[in-house]
Structure 1
């Protein structure tokens, strides 16, 4: 038996509790909407000018799926990255805003193609769209089939109750002995197991990892004091914090810990489009448009200092 605690207490909340939690979430959703504009009109969207340097390096033989149009796949999995607007049809969020700014830079109209996240590789390879801007992380395995232009860091958020005495968690020792909610089988679970091992090796208390059936039950456990910390994708927790106003961030964790993890615009391998997209992204960074987009969706912590084409990716785990 391992010397660290990775027990899996799974709480299956009764239907009444889940119903009440769902109702609470529904009633507070408008609080999040007040912070994040989820209207289909998007009057606050940040636009960019044409980038001649970027357009100049688009390969002469590259053919867009539709002439004059930049077709981009995005998975509307949840705010603030990408979600359906209040009309239940238009896709809005940080990733769509990046796509619009890139399309502006290339002098093209944008067509967003909603797609299930699991389907993007086949759709891209088959030529259904020109690129994917949907929180795709750079990995060495993916680089065998795709090209990448980085535009965000891949981060997990570390959040606690708003009135918690915990103020900062930056490294394994900061979490020693804490009860941490994490999704089973996730990348963040893999990282936290390693954190627990490091603590035990250093003579510190292990982490107590807790597992719940769904987000509502997880948030209820945190609110009721049955857990100290929740760790899940950073953007998700940013939105929940704005919506519910009862949790706060105390740290972030690279999705590739101990290595850096980058999220990138994804294109077909060898198409040559990635170089233009990298130049366009760097121009958006230099001109301040990029920062304004991330600020609009409260994702400034995920900013990259510069875009890179096909940087080192995460290895196979």
Structure 2
């Protein structure tokens, strides 16, 4: 009986040691690929041009994978289910402007921030109401993307009639048609969206505090977290990050505009 107990304990010890060694970094290295999720419909961050996936996030993910010694392998999926897919192990990371929030940190670990962004209003060109704060929008209809940080920001203010949409095209169209009073998006996105849609809209006031975007992955992978953060630091140190950022935005988007 004693021998049997010793054998069982030994087997359990081996299992525990194996579990402790099972870090995402080991899987990524063994596989030779970093599985990256993006929407694929979110220009200029990630989108398809002539059938090829491109954009700021795509190039950042490729640069990080290279520093890790592997290749980036992309999966495109809708924003509404992208975090659930990460939980289910369909991919290793999401490189898609995911805001680092306390709620998300309950379920996922994040890399160090790689983009600093801020919420900004979009209004009609002929609208003279001059909204400056979220409080100015009480009693007004405001369009926003479903499941985004901006939707949570609006819902936290009592009195705003928040209208959620699957994508920017839908709520900007409604804004142009006066079905809603304003829209809310990322300050990095708005110039591109207004240019792309060619709708009679303009950028409004920035609202709220700047937010930090990071790369989420499943918890309890300390070796992967350290390696990913080192890769991010390396592409900043060698100028790769600044080159990619300047290509897509004309500046380093990891820093506040005032600091550049």
Structure with a larger share of its residues in strand: 2
Query: Larger RCO: Structure 1 or Structure 2 (Cα < 8 Å, ≥ 6 residues apart)?
Result: 1
CA 1:294 to 1:251, structure 2 compared with 1: closer, same or farther past 3 Å? Answer: farther
SS at match of 2:196: helix
2:205 aligns with one of 240, 248, 251: 251
Please name the residue that 1:130 is paired with.
92
Instruction: Give the Cα separation in 2 of the matches to 1:133 and 1:66.
Output: 21
Q: TM-score, normalised by structure 2?
A: 0.66
Q: CA deviation at 1:229?
A: 3.3
CA 1:299 to 1:119, structure 2 compared with 1: closer, same or farther past 3 Å? Answer: farther
1:269 aligns with one of 216, 219, 225: 219
Structure with a larger share of its residues in helix: 2
Please name the residue that 1:44 is paired with.
none
Please name the residue that 2:101 is paired with.
139
Please name the residue that 1:191 is paired with.
153
SS at match of 1:182: strand
Q: CA deviation at 1:109?
A: 2.0
Larger Rg: 2
Please name the residue that 1:62 is paired with.
26
Pairs within 5 Å for 1:116-265:
116-121=78-83, 123-125=85-87, 127-149=89-111, 150-162=113-125, 171-172=133-134, 175=136, 181-183=142-144, 187-188=149-150, 191-192=153-154, 209=161, 211=163, 218-220=171-173, 222-223=175-176, 229-234=182-187, 236-245=189-198, 246-253=200-207, 257=208, 260-265=210-215
Q: TM-score, normalised by structure 1?
A: 0.56
Instruction: Give the Cα separation in 2 of the matches to 1:111 and 1:213.
Output: 29
Q: Aligned pair count? A: 229
| Unaligned 5+ runs, structure 2 | 1-22
Q: CA deviation at 1:148?
A: 0.7
Q: CA deviation at 1:61?
A: 7.1
1:304 aligns with one of 250, 254, 257: 254
CA 1:112 to 1:304, structure 2 compared with 1: closer, same or farther past 3 Å? Answer: same
Q: Is the 8 Å Cα contact of residues 182 and 232 (structure 1) preserved in structure 2?
A: no
Instruction: Give the Cα separation in 1 of the matches to 2:75 and 2:179.
Output: 41
SS at match of 1:230: strand
Instruction: Give the Cα separation in 1 of the matches to 2:84 and 2:144.
Output: 27
Backbone CA RMSD of aligned residues? 4.0
SS at match of 1:134: coil
Please name the residue that 1:35 is paired with.
none
Structure 1 runs (4+) deviating above 6 angstroms are none
